[in-house]
Amino acid sequence: MASVTIADVEKVYADGTHAVKDLSIDVADGELLVLVGPSGCGKTTALRMVAGLEEISGGTISIGDQVINHLDPGERDIAMVFQSYALYPHMSIYDNIAFPLKLAKVPKAERDEKVRRISKVVGLDEHLGRKPRQLSGGQRQRVAMARAIVREPQAFLMDEPLSNLDAKLRVQMRAGIAELQRELGVTTLYVTHDQVEAMTLGDRVAVMRKGYLQQLAPPEEIYRRPANMFVASFTGSPPMNLMAGRLGDDGATLAVGDCELRLAESERRPQHARFAGRDVVVGIRPERTADAALGDGGGAAAAGRTLRGVVAVREALGSDVLVYFHLDGLRALPKATWAHANDVAPDEVEREVGEEELDRVAVVARLGA
Ligand code: ATP
């Protein structure tokens, strides 16, 4: 196994589309790094450049110490799993998994040993005689992974491998992939548009938008310390509440609508000092508002930590209840805030959030049922 290094990589397609801009990501040896972002952000393009399926317009991609920019896909010692597993329907599971080894002219005994070992790891050793159509979607997925991994590539690339599965199987397979990846210790770059998949699978998560990397960090950090408003609103379900507010002169109170929130010591940051006395965007995760939002005016709601508003909708989810409410006196975020805070790069001040999102003044709280 080896590390994969993407350094200052650019991709400009023949028609002038600048799909990937100055991208730098290092995937450590044995790491599972998830590349996530909305449709069109350039994540698939980035993956295809690593695979050698797309030419690189600038920068370098290396595996270990070797720059691979000009190597053909077959010379890169990388395996890739796509959305469609592309198994050979007429071949047995055994032959499907053995196929890459056969191509590589690996001797029969060694081939057999490897196929049996990997089949055990992916839990398919009892189905080796079957044909793909006799397997479930999840099992087929595992055959595809086994086939990709059997020749022990330096790195493993996955492009939305779960997107064809139903919701339940997807959750199952997600756990299966994470387990398998850790067991095999194979360096993996995984692309998805699904933030839940990204957050649950990744050792680290790289969030992209419009060709630019927004943040690269472990999932907890992406969630707790999003680098900008885009990352904040992209992660979490429902996403973070983003509200117009004002930081007090002392840097310790936040005015949000008609409410004043006292910041706890742990919520204060040195970098907030320069925003003292200024308009800011306040972000509160729904699950962090729970107590304050439905405070009974007494016990539960701590002094200076209460948001007051009128409940608009309640959604019971079983384990949780989502409460949407209009916060007294809350203003919509000025459009310019979105434009600048989400500014992906200095040359790209552009707004793409929907109008209704800008005018959204309902806040959502997530409460235990
Ligand atoms: P999705 O999740 O929808 O697959 P993505 O984040 O993977 O999206 P890419 O497929 O990498 O995005 O596309 C990034 C940008 O490059 C998009 O604007 C897309 O339209 C454009 N693009 C992709 N392939 C080509 C191509 N062959 N020629 C021109 N533009 C392309």
Please, what is the Cα angle at 277 between 271 and 280, to 5 degrees? 65
- Judge whether 232 lies within some domain: no
SS3 category, 208: strand
Ramachandran sector of residue 365 (left: φ over 0; alpha: ψ -120 to 50; beta: rest): beta
Reference 327, options 260, 259, 238, 250; nearest CA is 259
Q: Which residues contact 55 (CB under 8 A, 6 or more apart)?
A: 49
Ligand 1, from 9, 11, 13: best to mutate by most atoms within 8 Å of Cβ? 13
Q: Which residues' Cβ are closer than 6 Å to ligand 1?
A: 13, 15, 17, 19, 37, 39-45, 193
Report the pLDDT value the prediction gives residue 17, as an integer from 0 to 100.
95
- Judge whether 231 lies within some domain: no
Nearest CA residue ID for atom 2, ligand 1: 39
- Judge whether 186 lies within some domain: yes
Q: Which residue has the tokens 């959604």?
A: 315
- The whole-angstrom separation of Cα 18 and Cα 230 is 20
Report the pLDDT value the prediction gives residue 187, as an integer from 0 to 100.
94
Residue 191 tokens read as: 């692309």
What band does 300 get if pLDDT is binned at 50, 70 and 90? Answer: very low
Residues 205 and 253 in one domain: no
Residues 38 and 105 in one domain: yes
Nearest CA residue ID for atom 21, ligand 1: 19
Residues 189 and 320 in one domain: no
Report the pLDDT value the prediction gives residue 36, as an integer from 0 to 100.
96
Q: What is the DSSP pairing of strand 241-247 with strand 212-217?
A: unpaired
Which secondary structure element, helix H or strand E, spans residue 217, and what is its range?
strand 212-217
Residue with the bigger pLDDT between 51 and 320: it is 51
Residues 209 and 252 in one domain: no
Task: Work out how many domains the chain is built from and give that number.
Answer: 2
Nearest CA residue ID for atom 5, ligand 1: 40
CA–centroid distance, 96 to ligand 1, in Å, is: 31
- Dihedral in degrees, nearest 10, Cα atoms 125, 126, 128, 130: -150
pTM: 0.84
- The whole-angstrom separation of Cα 232 and Cα 188 is 25
Ligand 1, from 12, 21, 44: best to mutate by most atoms within 8 Å of Cβ? 44
Range of the domain at 195: 4-224
* CATH number of the domain residue 220 falls in: 3.40.50.300
CA–centroid distance, 83 to ligand 1, in Å, is: 16
Residues 74 and 26 in one domain: yes
- The whole-angstrom separation of Cα 130 and Cα 225 is 48
Which secondary structure element, helix H or strand E, spans residue 198, and what is its range?
helix 195-201
Q: Which of 190, 224, 258 is the last residue of a domain?
A: 224
Tell whether the model's pLDDT for residue 201 goes beyond 60.
Answer: yes
Residue 350 backbone phi and psi in degrees, to 5: -155, 145
Residues 207 and 315 in one domain: no
- Residues 78 and 63: beta-carbon distance below 8 Å: yes
CA–centroid distance, 72 to ligand 1, in Å, is: 21
pLDDT digits (tens, 9 = 90+) for 211-251: 999 999 999 999 988 888 888 888 888 888 888 889 999 88
CA–centroid distance, 19 to ligand 1, in Å, is: 6
Q: Which atom of ligand 1 is nearest to the CA of 17?
A: 30
Report the pLDDT value the prediction gives residue 336, as an integer from 0 to 100.
59
Tell whether the model's pLDDT for residue 15 goes beyond 80.
Answer: yes
Residue 355 tokens read as: 């109008």
Q: Which of 164, 197, 224 is the last residue of a domain?
A: 224
- Judge whether 289 lies within some domain: yes
Summarize the confidence of residues 151-163 as an average pLDDT. Answer: 87
CB-side neighbour CA atoms (13 Å) of 117: 12
- The whole-angstrom separation of Cα 201 and Cα 212 is 22
Residue with the bigger pLDDT between 84 and 154: it is 154
